Amino acid sequence: AQKITQTQPGMFVQEKEAVTLDCTYDTSDPSYGLFWYKQPSSGEMIFLIYQGSYDQQNATEGRYSLNFQKARKSANLVISASQLGDSAMYFCAMREVYSGGGADGLTFGKGTHLIIQP
């Protein structure tokens, strides 16, 4: 079974609209962290936001917020007021404390290709 599932291979969104990128995860660890990364066409991986499994509130970083629904094992990324520069690949990733996933590293989903249209 996949540990991280991103069901949207591609999305087209109008500039200034809000965007929700889906991510569901599978773990039996009680302690884990969820991350979102952005990869523009230039190729670098840019850290966006982090949510810990014990965090009571949803994480926010500027225009990014993470809609964390623990019971549903979902960690969707919400981008408010999208901009043309948001066009990129977006990866959801998980770090499990006990089960590894690269012994303290990250397990990545396959990504969502987001295109913002003017």
Partner 1 sequence: NAGVMQNPRHLVRRRGQEARLRCSPMKGHSHVYWYRQLPEEGLKFMVYLQKENIIDESGMPKERFSAEFPKEGPSILRIQQVVRGDSAAYFCASSPGAVGSPLHFGNGTRLTVT
| 1 touches partner 1 (CB under 8 A) | no
Residue 34 exposed, middle or buried by CB count within 10 Å (0-12, 13-18, 19+) = buried
Number of residues that bind partner 1 (CB under 8 A): 27
- Contact code string over 59-88 relative to partner 1, x by CB under 8 A: ------------------------------
Q: Which residue has the tokens 């949510």?
A: 51
Name the minimum Å distance from CB 17 to partner 1. 25
Extended beta strands in the chain, E state: 4-5, 10-14, 19-21, 24-25, 32-39, 46-52, 60-61, 64-69, 74-79, 88-96, 107-108, 112-117
Residues 24 to 63: which contact partner 1 by CB under 8 A? Answer: 31, 33, 35, 37, 43-47, 50, 52
| Minimum separation from the CB atom of position 111 to partner 1 (A) | 5
Dihedral in degrees, nearest 10, Cα atoms 22, 27, 28, 30: -70
**Can you tell me which of 19, 66, 86, 95 binds partner 1, judged by CB under 8 A?**
95
> Is residue 101 involved in binding partner 1 (CB under 8 A)?
yes
Among the listed residues 88, 79, 77, the one whose alpha carbon sits nearest the alpha carbon of residue 21: 77
List of residues contacting partner 1 (CB under 8 A) = 4, 31, 33, 35, 37, 43-47, 50, 52, 91, 95, 97, 100-111
